[in-house]
Structure 1
């Protein structure tokens, strides 16, 4: 039943304080940390929504997300709606004081839509898997609009509803049919204006790929030209941006004032969240949202490091430059992720340490159906409390007490990592071979990001679309900027010239924004700022650095994956290759450039070597970080709304640890114990402390 009374009045009747509005421009923020789960009444084996809501409240759950996968249940025939599952869930959660985020159900299409309009399928005739739709298809859009409008109109006035999640982990799903190809041709025509400019920019004279009439423009499927392929990839990403903006507009045009719009972005998937998402430009797509949302999954048990939690959070926070929601993360997840005692709690606080204002598990209870039968929720398939639920209950009680203090923590990082979807697509067109596999852009990104993470050097993540002034940062690390415009490179170089510190890696500046190799001394527009050039490159085989310049030992003093034979022009040589054929060439250089410095690393270092390189750059740039500890003890910090500094101290180890923190005087908000300067802090196996400075 639609409830018409106002949210404020309804909550006042229940004696509750509302979770404040998040919507852009309201001037309000969350008043506590959101701690929640996804819930699907229609999946449950018996009628138990009231019991589940009671168990959630007992565990400190204060929000659930619903409906995003339920189109076939909500609209069983075109235009025939059944919101009974939604209504039951809203009513049960509201009775327990639990807030609700409603998802638009458009990422898994109903059988009738595939039957009536088989053209909506990206892979015709293959109904069954989710996210198998062409997000540009008019029949799909018409059906999606109908269900979105009906659902939002039905729930918007319910006092439990605080916001909406549009679609789910949206990507372009490689939609590339005739309509999409025609749209790409039209976008290309607008961009270049004439075919001579296009053919030159993309090098289409090669292998007779030249286009002499617009009507002869071939399909991009199967192209051997990286410029074509990567321009089409950028166009496909723009389809996602447009699609999410379309959904956000539909929802926002009907939602109640103060309800927010989010989306659960995800990352490159390698059986867990691994790197920058190739199929979505998070920064561009994020403009349509009120708050960035993210799904983060990571290895567990002895492989739990927290690195995926950190980089996923750093990207999500950087997309809009403010706190974000973890819309999905694992409670148990895959069997090999079933958490050890203490790990669920550690994981929750790790998300908060990156600036999350909410942590939500996918999902409440494990399904008994279909492909995700062994992807486990907070509860198992018996829907009974278990050891994981008991630990969530501990977290819920702590967040009920501390959430108002911890919410809206501000990060003040002085280091950034610069990433680019354009560079990613271009780099991955020419993946490097190593160990029988293709090494891609995200391998380079993670190699340098993780080196920072293990040493507790915290970062923001920038993109070409970032409007944040670069001079906010003392050090910017630029991994594998393989394709970039002259203007983009000039912006980075100008940052260094004005006094900043840049660290470029190999394969940066090689090609322009069209993935056309620059007709210049490499590394192109970086060459002058870095004071270096190169003409030769190869894949290293047993190549070390002369004299072990970073003191990492013989096993780690190695170049891997790629090496460029650097020739300094004005730069100082920091390392040379130790090899009979390549010893005259530099491996790494440093150059004074205006008031700043530019370093160039011409090879992929080992993990230990990468740590030394980034730490040395950070010291030279004047970065201050927690040098008294390193992985497996991770320290991440920020500032609470009252201005107090807070440090999350996280032990990613099955052993107890003693930690000496610099300039520490305060108290552990979790245990209440006092922490004095010069006194070691004790952490249990997989333990956590949250230290508020005095």
Structure 2
């Protein structure tokens, strides 16, 4: 494959006599692949069955003559006006029962049979035309599946699909009634056909219904993608299939979505306009990349890497000189084998007029072009040496979409957020330059010395037994509050005290708890004073050892953490959600007990990342500050890119000497 760098290009936005200039500039910059057409449905099919790919053929030919391969996006995220006019019911319905209008993108219902037929038509026609074209490297299915669909869709087709999904899951309606507890508020059903989607109601819906709705919604998106993949697999020869994910976006289970892809792609926007200025912190950016590597346990692509200031109605911050290269290096360091920049040229029309690309509106190469051109020349020469290599980790953090969904429905504390908890854990390890691997609840845990799980709110079948076996065999496990609370159908467990199926493993009972809505709990931990936030479990110790007790007015003398030796391993329990200080102290205990190794010391603000594979061991030093800093890796390392002096937003790549 060996593509390395590319760009997202919208030739339909520009005069045809500009295409040759663009291709030449791309080639001179060092780009090798170009994504095309993912929003060009109307340009390729101007009326039902009236296909026109000649313009796209000319673009692909121009790119090819300049040494550039094409990636084609299926354009199903942008249904054209003629399709909506023919079948207005493809427009999605929100939870108030209001049908959304044409415009923007993703104005579609993925259950609608007419939309599915039209989508299959355009995808099939594209595959017939370009599926055996050697100038086309591969395909991207749709664009950011689930984006814009958070409250959609509640139309009659989605209702019927939801009912069918429930019938397949439960078999008979009596089983659903028992699982959901529908005697509460007289919500029992006589048949599946009575069940509606969770439209706006005077009060709150059943948490069991909402959880199954979220599962159904995810499965619907996965099925929609698989339908397109089936078409492409049958007609596209020697071309890859991918999809551009969005980090911790949670509408769809990315582990499921990734299953049928050749590799995962990701969209990375450090200063997206929706972020709190100045943008996302380095550890959160790193975490999203590590999650992408986890989805298929292999390297990935970045299909949209920020290349300028972002904006729709409002704008984010303009990247400082050097940050575009730095962020690209971070993506590569954490497993991206190819990086595709969004976008080539800032568009002059439409919603994304101020979502800037490599080139400004006037199309004249400037500072962004030169910065990324120099970076590509430098990094491109060393990337073949670590192609396919991953950031090998001794610590795993469990990431479960179902646990996230369950806590979204009932977070208890308005500020408690599953993903934020996961990222707080990640930060404490990131600050110590300790590599982290995200894993699904079904993953093999044997490669890891330490496994940390954000709240296991639901008792997902098999997970408790798998974690118990991991600890029994010598692993170290950390569990957090709101673990072992519900069964898989989202009903509260009754067979044992909290934390339910984990009580014996942890050597504790939780007989009471406190939602800290207007309070914080002071905790002294190894000489540092931190805070317990959001929640406090009142722990009764059985076989465990209590650690780090509360010292303030709230829950004074009660343990904030316990440790229980179980078999050959140790199970830790954290009774609250730690602030940064407390999390650091707790993490230091876990790391020391598990014998987890750091990648080494670095100045504050310098991220260290390792990629290790058959080609050797490589260390990245990434300076996220605006100051010049020195990173001394010690003996045994040789610089391939950069030096020990890291300029502001500078990078270095080192290889371990034989």
Q: TM-score range by the shorter chain?
A: over 0.9
Distance change (3 Å), C-alpha of 1:74 and 1:230: same
Structure 2: distance between partners of 1:186 and 1:471 = 38
Moved more, 181-190 or 650-659: 181-190
SS at match of 1:337: coil
Does the CA-based 8 Å contact 2:334-2:390 persist in structure 1?
A: no
Residue number in structure 1 paired with 2:378: 398
- 1:230 to 2:208 alignment: no
Q: How does 1:56-67 map to 2 (within 5 A)?
A: 56-67=26-37
Structure 2: distance between partners of 1:535 and 1:629 = 44
Distance change (3 Å), C-alpha of 1:550 and 1:337: farther
- Deviation, 1:581, is 5.2
Distance change (3 Å), C-alpha of 1:655 and 1:126: same
- 1:389 to 2:369 alignment: yes
- 1:330 to 2:306 alignment: yes
> In structure 1, which of residues 204, 212, 216 is the aligned counterpart of residue 194 of structure 2?
216
- 1:201 to 2:186 alignment: no
- Deviation, 1:47, is 2.9
Residue number in structure 2 paired with 1:346: 326
Structure 2: distance between partners of 1:122 and 1:39 = 28
Structure 2: distance between partners of 1:314 and 1:596 = 26
Structure 2: distance between partners of 1:626 and 1:551 = 26
Does the CA-based 8 Å contact 1:33-1:403 persist in structure 2?
A: no
Distance change (3 Å), C-alpha of 1:617 and 1:533: same
> In structure 2, which of residues 523, 528, 540 is the aligned counterpart of residue 567 of structure 1?
540
Distance change (3 Å), C-alpha of 1:539 and 1:157: same
Structure 1: segments with no counterpart, 5+ residues: 1-19, 21-31, 268-275, 674-680
- 1:180 to 2:158 alignment: yes
> How many residues matched?
636
Q: When the two structures are superposed, what TM-score results if normalisation uses the length of structure 2?
A: 0.93
Structure 2: distance between partners of 1:279 and 1:391 = 35
- 1:71 to 2:46 alignment: no
- Deviation, 1:215, is 3.8
Q: How does 1:590-609 map to 2 (within 5 A)?
A: 590-609=563-582
Q: How does 1:539-554 map to 2 (within 5 A)?
A: 539-540=515-516, 541-546=518-523, 548-553=524-529
CA-to-aligned-CA distance 1:84-126 (integer Å, 9 cap, x gap): 3312221111111112111111111100001000111114350
- 1:665 to 2:645 alignment: no
SS at match of 1:578: coil
- Deviation, 1:129, is 1.7
- Deviation, 1:344, is 1.2
Structure 1: distance between partners of 2:197 and 2:320 = 51
- Deviation, 1:439, is 3.2
> In structure 2, which of residues 488, 493, 498 is the aligned counterpart of residue 518 of structure 1?
493
Structure 2: distance between partners of 1:228 and 1:568 = 35
Distance change (3 Å), C-alpha of 1:36 and 1:116: same
Distance change (3 Å), C-alpha of 1:157 and 1:494: same
Q: When the two structures are superposed, what TM-score results if normalisation uses the length of structure 1?
A: 0.88
> In structure 2, which of residues 79, 84, 94 is the aligned counterpart of residue 114 of structure 1?
84
Q: How does 1:407-556 map to 2 (within 5 A)?
A: 407-433=387-413, 438-466=415-443, 469-519=444-494, 520-540=496-516, 541-546=518-523, 548-553=524-529
Residue number in structure 2 paired with 1:239: 220
Moved more, 604-613 or 208-217: 208-217
Structure 1: distance between partners of 2:499 and 2:603 = 34
Residue number in structure 2 paired with 1:168: 143
- Deviation, 1:433, is 4.0
Q: CA RMSD in A?
A: 1.9
Residue number in structure 2 paired with 1:7: none
Moved more, 523-532 or 572-581: 572-581
Does the CA-based 8 Å contact 1:496-1:593 persist in structure 2?
A: yes
Structure 1: distance between partners of 2:526 and 2:514 = 23
Moved more, 497-506 or 613-622: 613-622
Q: How does 1:23-422 map to 2 (within 5 A)?
A: 32-44=2-14, 47-123=17-93, 124=99, 126-171=101-146, 173=149, 174-222=152-200, 224-256=205-237, 258-267=238-247, 276-299=248-271, 303=279, 305-334=281-310, 335-422=315-402
- Deviation, 1:465, is 4.2
Does the CA-based 8 Å contact 1:452-1:614 persist in structure 2?
A: yes
SS at match of 1:253: helix
CA-to-aligned-CA distance 1:133-187 (integer Å, 9 cap, x gap): 1112111111111111111221233332111101110128222322222222233
CA-to-aligned-CA distance 1:276-324 (integer Å, 9 cap, x gap): 3221111111111011111122238964632233112111111111110
- Deviation, 1:260, is 0.5
Q: How does 1:634-653 map to 2 (within 5 A)?
A: 634-642=607-615, 644-653=616-625
- Deviation, 1:610, is 1.5
- 1:558 to 2:521 alignment: no
- Deviation, 1:507, is 1.2
Does the CA-based 8 Å contact 1:542-1:558 persist in structure 2?
A: no
Distance change (3 Å), C-alpha of 1:465 and 1:471: closer
Residue number in structure 2 paired with 1:28: none
Does the CA-based 8 Å contact 2:305-2:328 persist in structure 1?
A: no
Does the CA-based 8 Å contact 1:456-1:625 persist in structure 2?
A: yes
SS at match of 1:370: coil
Structure 2: segments with no counterpart, 5+ residues: 94-98
Does the CA-based 8 Å contact 1:49-1:88 persist in structure 2?
A: no
- Deviation, 1:595, is 0.8
Does the CA-based 8 Å contact 1:573-1:589 persist in structure 2?
A: yes
- Deviation, 1:45, is 5.5
Structure 1: distance between partners of 2:139 and 2:227 = 14
> In structure 2, which of residues 645, 651, 657 is the aligned counterpart of residue 682 of structure 1?
645
> In structure 2, which of residues 582, 585, 592 is the aligned counterpart of residue 612 of structure 1?
585
Structure 1: distance between partners of 2:206 and 2:69 = 50
Structure 2: distance between partners of 1:200 and 1:80 = 52
CA-to-aligned-CA distance 1:516-536 (integer Å, 9 cap, x gap): 111131111111111112122
